[in-house]
A and B are shown apart, each in its own frame.
Chain A
Amino acid sequence: MAVSPLVVENLSFRYRDRSATAIREISFEAHAGEILLIAGASGCGKTTLIRCINGLAPRSYKGEVGGQILLYGENPKDWKLSQISQKIGTVLQDPERQILGTKVVNEVAFGLENLNVAREEIIDRVDEALKFLKIFHLRERETFTLSGGEKQKVALAGVLAMRPSILLLDEPLASLDPASAQDALDTARLLADQGMTILMVEHRVEDVLRIQPNRVMFMSEGEIRYLGIPSGLSKVANYREIKLPASEIVERAKLDPPPAEIKILPGAAGRGSEKEALVRFEEVAFGYDAEVEVLHGINLEIKRGDVIAVLGPNGAGKTTFVKHAIGLLKPKAGRVLVNGHDTKQASVAQIASTLGYVFQSPSHMLFAPTVREELAFGPTNLKHSKEQIETEVKEALRIVNLSDKEQDPPLALSFGQQKRVSIAAILAMQSRILVMDEPTAGQDYQNYMNFMDSILQLPSFEAILFITHDVDLAVIYANRVLIVNDGRLIADGKPQDVLRDFDRLKANRLVPTSLLALNLDRLGATSRFMRAEALAHV
């Protein structure tokens, strides 16, 4: 009988600097040619499990290990990481954290160079990996100029070139546009069909179910709650905890009371005309270098009551576009007006009192010794009163579900919690317009749905704009959708008008979801897009 590639027996792990155990009594076996999807909320122990399997824990992440792991029947406890890495390849959540090489060819060759493989063989294996992933044309490109999807594929090529038989993918879809995510999943299916064992940690369960993983593991509080065929998952997992296909949510939600109606931007009405533009882009063009223009003639008005979702592929210019709204970038041609004032004539700090901007990465802004002080920083700069700041901080913490972390150092929190602190830090500034760049990245489903619900019901905001790769976020929350591609505004309209054109979605690397399809099906009865739980009661 063939030996299993991977056997995990009663595995437990506790990080050296923490009192609680991160994972407890984990046991399972993974087979050759299998895709095992590992799902669960943030902090459930998924990443720790991956670190134990690839050897980073306890070698780099020190701690106490219980139980054992067997790779092809052998216990790798005393192996060096280099030995393990020849059998197990790992692609980290963020390819930016994994890529080391200056050029694509150097990046893919890195592992083979370290194994002292002959130069000619390295070249052959690099080219083979690049061709397999259909990215041979990127061979000589500099890695930092690649789009998110391209970086993900290059990181994968670097691992595949080492020919591992087990592949660990830690949230591989987190930074990808829908079409790139689909490509990545198809590649995983192909590799599994060729005999590779794949363990994939992923929040976007619905997307992964499309490639028919053999089994699903659902983790909670460091333990396995479910391990079995995918169809059994919806019976054990709460549909509010992980993102299931819309039809399954509808079936389950029918048994529950209808969800409370979300009153979007309750403060927008009554503060002025809905026709008045809060932000106006007039023929805006921009380029980081004089020779290359990345935004071309953008015309747009953000009006009171708008909840705008900005969709588009990786590298389309979405972030460049919204950075103009707060004056971090000034147009090379045209102008941007915020509250009627040209951003060229105002400092970013002045605009910040009107327009709050949440950056993609929290690690570039967190600095204070406590979460409370971090949140008070913005309002203090804007000269809010002490009493006002106290209220703003408490309210912001409540919205992002971090009230119990008020005195904790923000830098000691998990990535997901840090992201929520960064959102709360802007919420506390009580700006009239909120702009968020991928607010849900790195968050689990339940958390981001909760804080999106809360943010949209805040009375202080008159308009909200968010960049996202999640089409469902646009379906559920937006009353206006923009598609940006190649620095141009491709579409601007109501979600039901913009998102019904599947050809246009495909051309802009967007993929229709089951929730979108269901909403379009029922549009005659609902006349607007709704979340799946609400559709269950229509």
Chain B
Amino acid sequence: MLVAWRYRNRKSLIQSFDPRAWLIFYACFLVSTLAFWDVRPLLFFFTLAMFVLFTSGVTWKEMRRAFLFIIGFVVFFAILTFLTGRGGSELYGQEHLIRQYKASFSILGWTPTLDVTVERAFYAVSQLVRVSSIAVMTILIPYSLNPSLYGVTFKGLGLPDKFAYAMDLTMRFIPTFARDFQLTMDAQRARGYEIEKLNGGIVEQVRKMAPIFVPVTIHAIISSEDIIDAMDLRAFGVGPRTWLEVLNRDLKDRVLIWFGVAILVGSLIAGFMGYGKFWVPEALLRLAGG
């Protein structure tokens, strides 16, 4: 059975909008944020995301796991890029060294070296701000969209009935998959299986994960067949359908959409005009002797 995200009615700012308006705004926000590497406009998007977060009414306890995962992910990749110097080099041609750390040993004539440059440091900061803004807005979606409105929302965004209902099911597939994964983990642990103690090479470790992945996959396939049968038995897809839920768009929704579109258009124009590219403060460059 499909389970839904943990949605609660919170009377928050996000929930006061028509979900179609919110999704359009979210899409505009997403594309606009991706248009920039300059931390100054990115800080605007970050501030916007923080405003939405703090007015969302979602408690830290509710989203702690998702946030810790995303923060861990973002910080890990930012540090990795910083250490390796890869990932941002296409955005800047020249690097200004602040300090260089050299290892006291060599491996086959190569001495591990860490160059701390202004560009690498600021690239890591820009990446953190950019990805964090998008992550915050994305994490909030399941907490702020009423699951019973998923289908009608996508229908309202112009998708045909079948696709709109398929999107509804897809949105609920993720928490359902998480629940099934946990159930399978529990069932195999009760048979003495310890995922933490898997050993061997990568191929061997993947093979030893079969007790988890096979049941989860098979269960997902069987469940989707059940869903298809259940839909067929109640005449799904025979023609145009009525949607029980009704969405109402009012002035504030229109304002939100126009605000989102304005940000998007502004960002795209700025991008075409060459603004918003990777930027480092002059003062820092001077500090590095540039």
User: Could you tell me which A residues sit within 8 Å of B by CB distance?
Assistant: 54, 56, 59-60, 80-82, 85-86, 90, 92, 96-103, 105-106, 109-119, 122-123, 126, 142-144, 151, 158-159, 162, 290, 323, 326, 328, 347-349, 352-353, 356-357, 359, 361, 363-367, 377-378, 381-382, 411, 425-426, 429
Contacts and interface: CB of A to CB of B under 8 A. Distances in A.
Interface in B172-208: 172, 180, 183-184, 186-194
Contacts of A143: 1
A378 B192 contact: yes
Nearest to B149: A102
Secondary structure at chain A's binding surface: helix, strand, loop or mixed? helix
A99 B234 CA distance: 11
Nearest to B226: A97
Contacts of A158: 234
B222 interface: yes
A114 B238 contact: yes
16 contacts: A81-B232, A97-B226, A97-B229, A113-B243, A116-B241, A116-B242, A122-B244, A151-B1, A159-B234, A326-B190, A328-B186, A349-B192, A352-B191, A365-B211, A377-B211, A426-B190
A316 B34 CA distance: 50
A416 to B, nearest CB: 15
A359 B183 CA distance: 9
B218 interface: yes
B154 to A, nearest CB: 14
Contacts of B239: 116
B171 to A, nearest CB: 10
Given A357-B190, A364-B219, 4 more contacts: A85-B234, A99-B2, A116-B241, A377-B211
B190 A363 contact: no
Nearest to A90: B233
Contact of A361 (B4, B148, B183, B238): B183
A202 to B, nearest CB: 19
A80 B191 contact: no
Interface in B223-240: 223, 226-240
B228 A106 contact: no
Nearest to A355: B190
Contacts of B210: 367
B interface, over-half SS: helix
A290 B61 CA distance: 10
Interface of B: 1-4, 61, 147-148, 150, 169, 172, 180, 183-184, 186-194, 210-211, 214-215, 218-219, 222-223, 226-246
Contacts of A162: 234-235
Nearest to A357: B190
Contact of A425 (B191, B226, B231): B191
B57 to A, nearest CB: 16
B192 A97 contact: no
Contacts of B241: 113-116
Contacts of A100: 2, 169, 227, 230-231
Contact of A103 (B148, B193, B219, B231): B148
B223 to A, nearest CB: 8
A117 B61 CA distance: 43
A114 B189 contact: no
Contacts of A98: 226, 230, 233
Contacts of B187: 359, 364-365
B235 A86 contact: yes
B128 to A, nearest CB: 31
A352 B244 contact: no
Given A122-B244, A349-B193, A144 B4 contact: yes
Contacts of A81: 232-233, 235
